[in-house]
Amino acid sequence: MDHAPAASPARKPKKLRSDMGWSDPHSITVQGLDLCTDILGHLNLGDFAFLEIKGRRPDARESQVFNALLGTLVEHGMTPMVIAARLTYLGAPESLQGAVAAGILGMGTTFAGTAEGSARLLQEAIRPETTMEHLPALAEDIVARHRASRTAIPGIGHPLHKPIDPRTPVLFNLAEANGLSGRYVALMKLVAQAAERALGKPGQLPVNATGAIGALSSELDIPWRLCRGLAVIGRTIGIVGHLAEELRNPIGREVWERTEDESSEHNRT
């Protein structure tokens, strides 16, 4: 049995409490705001996501940066996730929610882990008292630790986008223009530079989009454990987009038939 350690007569019940939303016959309250008068028509979808996660509305600057951050995560072409979603839709077209769920289940360490990883790296390195002067030493230390344990540094380098990931300067410029480029962005850049020096690969290990997302999430004070949730929000939109295309021009059946035919070919000869 999987036991709740406290599943005993002596267990003290804890009060259940949530402040996300509630309603009465005439109104709906979300995080203390009136859905009908304060939110609908006033907050765009990215602002609403900010409200849900942070418990308050974003200001105009946070809104622009957060919408861009989430936008980076929406559409990544024909990924394994969207192929899985299309194949699942083929089997259960009446349960579109299942196809979307199948798609987001592929957002594990291989694809979604790096934004989480870079946010964690930055949030564990920077303390309340950390100042800009401390950052170069922190960057050197991060690179040294990863070299010692022979692990990749999350957030730098990209197999295709060389010498730079074109999304990174856009995100960093938006942060800068909106007063949201602070210690986390600075440290992420310093880590990339230190890694290039340490590994003798000048211009080859720039901050990639997931590193930029990790840095911006940190500037917005979002815990690294929730970064994967931001990725899930973005990708859910992308998966629904792919299912809209699958409705118009299906490819799931063709991918299935080809794979089935070829993989069992050796049994037919």
Q: Does 151 bind a copy of itself (CB under 8 A)?
A: no
Q: Does 10 bind a copy of itself (CB under 8 A)?
A: no
Q: Does 38 bind a copy of itself (CB under 8 A)?
A: no
From the centroid of its chain, how far is CA 53?
A: 13
The set of long-range contacts for 146-151, using a CB threshold of 8 Å and a minimum separation of 24, is 147/198, 147/199
At residue 84, what are phi and psi to the nearest 5 degrees? -60, -40
Q: Does 26 bind a copy of itself (CB under 8 A)?
A: yes
73: CB partners within 8 A, 6+ apart: 213, 230, 231, 233, 234, 235, 238
**Minimum separation from the CB atom of position 131 to a copy of itself (A):** 28
**Among residue numbers 86 through 125, which ones bind a copy of itself (CB under 8 A)?**
87-88, 90-102, 104-112
CB 196 within 8 A of CB 204: yes
At residue 58, what are phi and psi to the nearest 5 degrees? -75, 155
**Minimum separation from the CB atom of position 268 to a copy of itself (A):** 8
Q: Does 53 bind a copy of itself (CB under 8 A)?
A: yes
Q: Does 156 bind a copy of itself (CB under 8 A)?
A: no
* Secondary structure letter of residue 108 according to DSSP: S
**Among residue numbers 217 through 256, which ones bind a copy of itself (CB under 8 A)?**
223, 225-226, 228-230, 232-233, 236-238, 240-245, 247, 249, 251-256
Figure out which of the listed residues 7, 10, 60, 148 binds a copy of itself, where binding follows CB under 8 A: 7
* Rounded Cα gap, residues 153 and 164, in angstroms: 16
Q: Does 76 bind a copy of itself (CB under 8 A)?
A: yes
**Minimum separation from the CB atom of position 35 to a copy of itself (A):** 7
Figure out which of the listed residues 142, 171, 180, 190 binds a copy of itself, where binding follows CB under 8 A: 171
CB 210 within 8 A of CB 155: yes
Helices 113-125 and 209-219: angle between axes, nearest 10 degrees? 50
* Rounded Cα gap, residues 85 and 234, in angstroms: 15
Dihedral sign, CA of 254, 256, 257, 258?
Answer: positive
**Minimum separation from the CB atom of position 141 to a copy of itself (A):** 20
**Minimum separation from the CB atom of position 59 to a copy of itself (A):** 15
Stretch near a copy of itself under the rule CB under 8 A, chosen from 71-79, 117-125, 146-154, 192-200: 71-79
Total Cβ atoms within 10 A of residue 166: 9
CB 177 within 8 A of CB 187: no
Q: Does 215 bind a copy of itself (CB under 8 A)?
A: no
**Minimum separation from the CB atom of position 164 to a copy of itself (A):** 9
Q: Does 149 bind a copy of itself (CB under 8 A)?
A: no
**Minimum separation from the CB atom of position 255 to a copy of itself (A):** 6
